[in-house]
Amino acid sequence: MRKALLIVCSLVSLSALAQSDDEKAVRAAISQLFDGMRKADTTLFKAVFVPTASLQSIAKNKEGAVSVRSESIPNFIASVGKQKPGALDERLSAYEVRIDAELAIAWTPYVFYFNGQKSHCGVNVFTLVKLNGGWKIQAIIDTRRREGCPDL
């Protein structure tokens, strides 16, 4: 009985190690996105997306009506490329990553700074897919608000 328990515990530990490597790789893909954004490096930035990736933002207008806006990834990449290095700085305060086989999601609260000034904050939700052994971003949806943003 003890031997069986030891084997089960070892298998669980190996499984946890494999998932933590995937979690590190998911985090690395997201970090590469924000590193590319900060550097205004579209090559670094573009490399983390699958060709069919999508970007959406949930926001409220002045009257409080909620809408979901979509932006094409090519337009997003082009807008990042037009910035000066250091102008865009999105700072994450935490990561919550969930993985099942070749699918991962990451929940990342953030504060966004433009030219050193706090602009807005919210939460990003990333959907990533493991393709050819590497994690790529399939979709991003985020919330955006200007009030109640912490300093990061």
Place of tokens 């590319």: 36
At residue 15, the 3 state secondary structure works out as helix
**C-alpha pair distances (Å), 46 with each of 16, 31, 75:** 30, 13, 11
Q: Give rounded-to-5 percent helix, strand, coil for the chain.
A: 35, 45, 20
- pLDDT tens track of the chain, all 152 residues? 555 444 444 444 444 454 589 999 999 999 999 999 999 999 998 999 999 999 999 988 889 899 999 999 999 999 999 999 999 999 999 999 999 999 999 999 999 999 999 999 999 999 999 999 999 999 999 999 988 999 98
Q: Considering the entire predicted model, what is its pTM? A: 0.83
Range of the domain at 12: 2-143
The rounded distance, in Å, linking the Cα atoms of 1 and 128 is: 40
Q: Is residue 152 part of a domain?
A: no
Q: Is residue 149 part of a domain?
A: no
- By the 10 Å C-beta count (0-12 exposed, 13-18 middle, 19+ buried), 43 is classed as exposed
Q: Is residue 74 part of a domain?
A: yes
At residue 54, the 3 state secondary structure works out as strand
Q: Is residue 12 part of a domain?
A: yes
How many domains are there within the chain? 1
CATH number at residue 106: 3.10.450.50
Q: Is residue 148 part of a domain?
A: no
Q: Is residue 99 part of a domain?
A: yes
Query: pLDDT tens digits for 41-85?
Result: 999 989 999 999 999 999 888 898 999 999 999 999 999 999 999
At residue 72, the 3 state secondary structure works out as coil
